[in-house]
Amino acid sequence: MVSDENSAFVKGQNEYEVLGRILHDITENKNEYRNQLELLNQQKQALVLENLIVKGINTKEERKEFEKCFKKPIEYFCVVLLQMKLKDSEDYQIALLCIAEYLKESYPNDFANVHTGIRDELFLFSLSPKDPSNVQNIKEIFERITLALTVDMNITFNVGISAIGTDISNINICYNQAQQVTQAFYREHENSVEIYNININSAKENIVGMEFLTKLYNLILCGERETIGEQFSKLLNYYQKMPFQYETQKQQIFFLSETSYIAHVFS
C-alpha cells in the first residue's frame, strides 16, 4: 500500500495541481526522464519485434511496425534461436552482452536481437544476396562464440539457425525452423549449432498447412485483399516448381479459392 506521504494525490490537491507538479518535475529533470522514455521505447520495440518474429506479419500496419523496429528494409534474412544453460542470471546478461558486441564487430550486415521465454534469445540477421556462404557464415560465427564462452564461462549452448527467408511477412516460418532445430539437436551438457536443412524438409512440407490457413484466415478477417492475392501468387509459384505437391493438395487449393472468393463477395 502506498502511504499518503508518497502518494501523487494528496488531500487538498486536485488533478490539475498534481499534473502541474509532475510536468514541472519532468521539465526540471529532462535528461533523466528522456532516458526513461528511451528505455521504455526500446522495451516496447523489443516486444513488438518478438511478437512479429514469432507470429508473423499479417497486415500492412504490422509491416510498418517491423520496419520501425529493424530500421532498414531487408530482402534476405535468417532467424537464430539461442538457448544458454547456466546457473547465474547475472552471468546470462554478461554472456549476452558479450555475444552482441562480438556480432557487431564480426558480422558485416544488420542484425537485431530480442529476449523471448526464460532463457531464449532471438536473433534476426539480414543476409547479403552476394554472399555465397548464406547461413553457413552465421553458423561459423556461433560456433566460435560457443567454443570461447563454454571455456570461459562454463555455458552450454543450443543454437538453431533457420534457412534463408525471402519474404518478411513469413518471418515466423523461419522462427519455427530455428525452433525445430534446437529441439531436434538438444543434448544435455553438449553444445549444438545446427542449420535447418531445407532440402530434406521441403519434400515432406505441406505449404497449405495449419500455419498458412491461420494466416489466410487472419488476412480475410482484416480485409487485406491485396495481401491475400499475394499469398495465392506465392502458392502458384510454389506449385509451378513442385507440381507433384499440387496433385496431392489440389482439393485444399480448391477449398481455399472458393472460401476466399465468398469472403471477397460478402466483404
Whose cell is 488533478? That residue is 15
pLDDT at position 4 is: 45
Average model confidence (pLDDT) for the chain? 77
Q: Return the exposure string of 207-229: e unless at least 16 CB atoms fall within 10 Å of the residue's CB, then b.
A: bbeeebeebbeebbeeebeebbe
Is 126's pLDDT higher than 80? yes
- The domain spans of the chain are 70-199, 210-266
Tens of pLDDT, residue by residue over 77-90, are 999 999 998 877 77
Looking at the structure, give the CATH architecture of the domain made up of residues 70-199: 2-Layer Sandwich (3.30)
Instruction: For strands 111-116 and 156-161, give the pairing.
Output: unpaired
Mean pLDDT of 28-50: 69
Is 248's pLDDT higher than 50? yes
Phi, psi of 126 (to 5 degrees): -80, 130
Where are the extended beta strands (E) located within 104-155? 111-116, 120-127
**Residue bearing the bigger pLDDT, 236 or 251:** 236
Tens of pLDDT, residue by residue over 158-178, are 999 998 888 888 889 899 999
pLDDT at position 2 is: 40
pLDDT at position 7 is: 46
